[in-house]
Amino acid sequence: MSQSQEEHLYAARVPIFPRSVKGRFRNVKYGILALAYGVYFILPWLRWHRDNGPDQAVIFDLKARLFYVFGMTIHPQDIFLLAALLTLAALLLFFVTSVAGRVFCGYFCFQTLWTDVYMMIERLVQGERPARIRLSKQPWNREKILKIGLTHLLWLLVAFWTGLTFVLYWGDAPTLFVEFFTGKAPFPAYATALFLTATTYVMAGLAREQVCIYMCPYSRFQSAMFDKDTLIVSYDARRGEGTAGRHKIAKGYKTREERHAKGVGDCIDCGYCVQACPTGIDIRNGLQVPCIQCALCIDACDTIMDSLGWERGLIGYYSEHRLEGKPTRIIKWKTLGYGLALAAVVGFMTWLVANQAPLDMHVRKIRQPLYVELADGSIQNSYDIKINNKTSEPVRIRMEVKGLPGAKADFGRFREVRIRPQHYVRLLGKVSIKPAPGVSKRQEFSFRAVPIEPADLPEVEAPARFFMP
Amino acid sequence: MSTDSNKPAVQTTGHAWDGDLQEYNNPLPRWWVWTFYATVVFAVVYWIMYPSWPVGKSFLGGVKTITFQTSSGQEVTTHWNMRARLLHDLQNGEEAVKQREYLEKIANSSFEEILSDPDKLAFVRSAGKVMFADNCAACHGAGGQGVIGLFPNLVDDAWLWGGTLEDIHTTISQGRRGYMPAFPQFAENGKVDNLADYVLSLSGEQGGDPVSIKKGEAIFQGEEGGCYYCHTKQATGMKSLGSANLTDKIWEIANVPGAKTYEEKRAEVRKVILGGIQREMPSWKGRLPDETIKILTVYVHELGGGK
């Protein structure tokens, strides 16, 4: 009786020891890594003078409910900006995926970036792939303990620095940094830093490609955006296998002519592409879910082809159409659609940023009582008015009522109101009318806040209703 | 795994009874087991930190303590518990400290200063709203609209006892007793109707018989009724007595605005003249802290716009 192997939904991790490669894509990846790390780790330390507000270029001030990003101040009311940004990111991801596959995974995803750094540390301490394999098989002696221990220590340091840097975005970085190490920082700072230390260490150090295979939702749905014109890292099987499959370099299989005569392809089965793979797959088996399209196998294969003097590109960015010998179309309805949607969101965001209202006003009718009759027989309604100064300068405004003939408005002693930068004021507005025959019981009108200083601010209007018995 | 032949071999407990009877063993997933162990460890730590097991008539208090002030100002340190935590937060919480700061500011400011400072006024309006709802709304209504015939409307601009800040402060702290005697003797010969016609005419209500109004005026301004003792010759009322201004459009007791016909309006006024008025606003001094009364004063003043 033969029992077929159960196909498990989860496979315990088999350690992978990727061999390092050199080449074009590797250099691009180094560049992106340096840029991303530079931005992430240096940004919170950048100073930026503000007259009213923290002197940090990028700071997310939760307590004041203000996000400062260089010259921009983002208020809670600007939540649409965040929504637009997220939409933009999603569309960009879809667009790029439909054109060039998992570019995000391979070059920009922080899982890839941090794993890359962790692998570099590994190589630095433990040596190249064979040395690492030897070390892992070795019994736990002094050398192994020392080397593995040092690797994990360095990993933890990177993880901690990552976590700490994240925390520094939410407060004044130099102050928070000192507070953090003198035990004076707020509890959430420690909790966040430690949590991110733990996740970074576990994800980039221990789980690695398992994050991509089992945790990442994007890796599961990205294939929905693929088509036969999408550029994917793939092995040119027609060239590599020929008609008789691949063959190692051996007697009678040395030159291309000899090989082609025997029907053997250009792949010399050296296995460098497999060894270089950070997720431990064989790209020659075709497109696979674990492949993050980091393009390191391209560099590996190109190195071998160069040394043989054969042309590059046995592994490369090819579409399925190209592999079938058909032309690849980049411009098609799908990419056009994504492109248009992307342009629309970019336009919307630019408009949002350019038209951030410096003042905003909200009026709430006080409904209990709805109205009241005054001694002289006129009818009075009351309103709760909130005016927000979103600029970083003090603003002086004058309150007016518009569109209600014969109305008397009373704002207490504050016909002229001074609002501190990034603050709001609440006013009680009382509006009264002498009832005349033929006047509607419900009238629409608006409150106006007219800036006096600075006078070039646009005035704001807020709608309100007036009720009469 | 679609067909039975693909079914994996299931682990058994390893023991066979009666030769071939075996028991399947499906161990729990590892993550589940470890999570379970973690909760066990958590529970033990929790027992040590916080109140947990009953011991006889007492209980294990746990090592964690909390310090708070009792209402008599005594510092007490006790085992950690939620009630102490609440008291502690009410005294030392970030919001409590902030509020105390504002309350002190209010206590040290004059009415004028509060009214001219948007920041303080905003605090008074939001704090006052809650204080008003807790202490005043039961009679005066949540928005201060009152109940006609029973409790004064605080949103309009008529103030029986004066609408200045000082007057309102006195009213709240000392209370008021509103009184108008009943005049049942006018029920005869339609005198009460004459009076009612006159009173209605004072605030411009149309429909009264001119002769009746003349008679009413004679009673009101003369010694027979003596109404002018309290309501004054001009019928504008007196702040010191809390007597109503009868010439304005506002009706405190007689529900004239709610009546449809002139007859009904007159009936409302008649009821007041024959029955009199007796109302009381309690005194709040001693029942409310001084700064609460101060905040309520400004709040009520703002409701009606003061005078």
A338: pLDDT strictly greater than 60: yes
Burial of B168 (0-12, 13-18, 19+ CB in 10 A): buried
The whole-number average pLDDT for the span A226-236 is 91
The whole-number average pLDDT for the span A332-360 is 88
For residue B148, the chain A residues in CB contact (below 8 A) are none
Distance CA A205, CA A121 (A): 10
Q: Which residue of B has its CA nearest to A10?
A: B29
Q: In this complex, which of B9, B116, B126 lies closest to A413 when CB atoms are compared?
A: B116
B196: pLDDT strictly greater than 80: yes
Q: In this complex, which of B122, B155, B248 lies closest to A372 when CB atoms are compared?
A: B155
CB–CB contact A6 B305 (8 Å): no
Query: What's the Rg (C-alpha) of chain A?
Result: 33
Q: In this complex, which of A374, A410, A425 lies closest to B156 when CB atoms are compared?
A: A374
Per-residue pLDDT tens over the stretch B78-91: 999 999 999 998 88
Q: In this complex, which of A426, A427, A430 lies closest to B305 when CB atoms are compared?
A: A430
The whole-number average pLDDT for the span A300-322 is 93
Confidence of residue A7 (pLDDT cuts 50, 70, 90): low
More confident residue, A225 or B281: B281
Question: Does residue A417 sit at the B interface (CB-CB below 8 Å)?
Answer: yes
CB–CB contact A372 B118 (8 Å): no
| pLDDT value, residue B2 | 44
Mutation for B interface: A370, A374, A384, A468, most B CBs within 10 A: A374
Confidence of residue B110 (pLDDT cuts 50, 70, 90): very high
Cβ partners under 8 Å of residue A449, min gap 6:
A359, A361, A387, A397, A398, A399, A400, A459, A460, A461
| pLDDT value, residue B95 | 87
Distance CA B25, CA B17 (A): 15
Question: Does residue A2 sit at the B interface (CB-CB below 8 Å)?
Answer: no
Distance (Å) from the C-alpha of residue A6 to the closest C-alpha of chain B? 6
Per-residue pLDDT tens over the stretch A112-160: 999 999 999 999 999 999 999 999 999 999 999 999 999 999 999 999 9
The whole-number average pLDDT for the span A307-335 is 89
Task: Measure CA B48 to chain center.
Answer: 44
Confidence (pTM): 0.72
| pLDDT value, residue B7 | 54
- Cβ B165 vs Cβ B113: under 8 Å: no
Question: Does residue A468 sit at the B interface (CB-CB below 8 Å)?
Answer: no
Distance CA A439, CA B244 (A): 30
The whole-number average pLDDT for the span A232-244 is 91
| pLDDT value, residue B231 | 94
Q: In this complex, which of B6, B118, B125 lies closest to A414 when CB atoms are compared?
A: B118
CB–CB contact A372 B156 (8 Å): yes
The whole-number average pLDDT for the span B61-76 is 87
Per-residue pLDDT tens over the stretch A26-81: 999 999 999 999 999 999 999 999 888 899 999 999 888 889 999 888 888 888 88
B38: pLDDT strictly greater than 80: yes
Q: In this complex, which of A367, A425, A469 lies closest to B118 when CB atoms are compared?
A: A425
| pLDDT value, residue B8 | 57
Question: Does residue A385 sit at the B interface (CB-CB below 8 Å)?
Answer: no
| pLDDT value, residue B3 | 47
Q: What are the C-alpha distances in Å from B29 to residues A255, B35, B36, B37, B43? A: 55, 10, 11, 13, 21
| pLDDT value, residue A1 | 37
- Cβ B56 vs Cβ B72: under 8 Å: no
The whole-number average pLDDT for the span B59-78 is 88
CB–CB contact B250 A374 (8 Å): yes
A301: pLDDT strictly greater than 60: yes
Phi, psi torsion values for A445, nearest 5 degrees: -150, -175
CB–CB contact B245 A375 (8 Å): yes
Residues of chain B that touch chain A, judged by Cβ-Cβ distance less than 8 Å: 1, 5-6, 8-9, 115-116, 118, 121-122, 125-126, 141-143, 145, 153, 155-158, 204, 245, 248-250, 257, 302, 305
Distance CA A445, CA A465 (A): 6
Percent of chain A with pLDDT over 70: 98
B6: pLDDT strictly greater than 60: no
CB–CB contact A375 B156 (8 Å): yes
Percent of chain A with pLDDT over 90: 63
More confident residue, A174 or A377: A174
- Cβ B12 vs Cβ B25: under 8 Å: yes
- DSSP H or E segment with residue B36: helix B30-49
A192: pLDDT strictly greater than 70: yes
Q: In this complex, which of A7, A368, A417 lies closest to B145 when CB atoms are compared?
A: A368
Task: Measure CA A14 to chain center.
Answer: 30
Cβ partners under 8 Å of residue B1, min gap 6:
A6, A7, B7
The whole-number average pLDDT for the span A383-404 is 90
Mutation for B interface: A3, A367, A373, A417, most B CBs within 10 A: A373
CB–CB contact A375 B118 (8 Å): no
Per-residue pLDDT tens over the stretch A424-441: 888 889 999 988 888 888
Q: In this complex, which of B8, B125, B305 lies closest to A410 when CB atoms are compared?
A: B305
The whole-number average pLDDT for the span A185-208 is 95
CB–CB contact B155 A425 (8 Å): no
The whole-number average pLDDT for the span A393-408 is 90
Phi, psi torsion values for A341, nearest 5 degrees: -60, -40
CB–CB contact A410 B157 (8 Å): no
Q: What is the mean pLDDT of chain A?
A: 90
CB–CB contact A369 B5 (8 Å): no
